[in-house]
Structure 1
Amino acid sequence: MSEYTEEEARIVAYLRDSVSSGERYFRAKNIAEAIGLTAKQVGTRLPHLAEKSDDVEIEKWGRSKSTTWRVTHQG
């Protein structure tokens, strides 16, 4: 598993728990509210985590007012 900062680890743990049975779609603000970070803190880390994470697959899915992220359980 890759090395994560404390904030990245919180994001990945939340996503892993949320998609344990399949896939879900998220917005940064919803993740942020759930784990006590700002939407900007989450939003700036998600593209990096998409490349870095072995636990979950994070894919930029759509963009309207804000980016939607498709997250799928790996393994």
Structure 2
Amino acid sequence: MSATARSGGGEDLPDLDPLPELTEKQERIRRYLYREAETTTYFKSRLIADALDMTSREVGANVRAVRDAPTAIAVEKWGYSSATTWKVTR
């Protein structure tokens, strides 16, 4: 299982209009995951936090709203160790 994200390239992503039900932090997380995921990718909360200048706690608290939002990515809590891993499928 890879814990790092691979760049999704600069492709045009159709589902990046802001979602009114998400906060600014949640929207930043959603855009990051959407942009960086290639089909199925695994992300550690701390790596998302580093990329977005947040804490891993902030990521964990906000990614649940992203997971529940109507978007073209599926987010699943994958790892339950000391560092949470998120499985993102696009």
* Equivalent pairs, count: 72
SS in 1 for 2:41: strand
Match of 1:63 in 2: 80
Q: CA deviation at 1:48?
A: 2.2
Match of 2:48 in 1: 31
TM-score (normalizing by structure 2): 0.71
Q: CA deviation at 1:53?
A: 4.1
Counterpart-to-counterpart distance in 1, 2:70 and 2:47: 20
Q: Deviations over 1:23-71 (max 9, x none)?
A: 1101111001001111111111112221114131100112122221100
Match of 1:12 in 2: 30
SS in 2 for 1:58: strand
TM-score (normalizing by structure 1): 0.83
Structure with a larger share of its residues in helix: 1
Q: Which runs of 4+ in 1 moved over 4 A?
A: none
Give the partner amino acid of 2:67: A
Counterpart-to-counterpart distance in 2, 1:15 and 1:41: 15
RMSD: 1.5
**In the alignment, does 2:69 pair up with 1:49?**
no
Unmatched 5+ residue regions in structure 2? 1-16
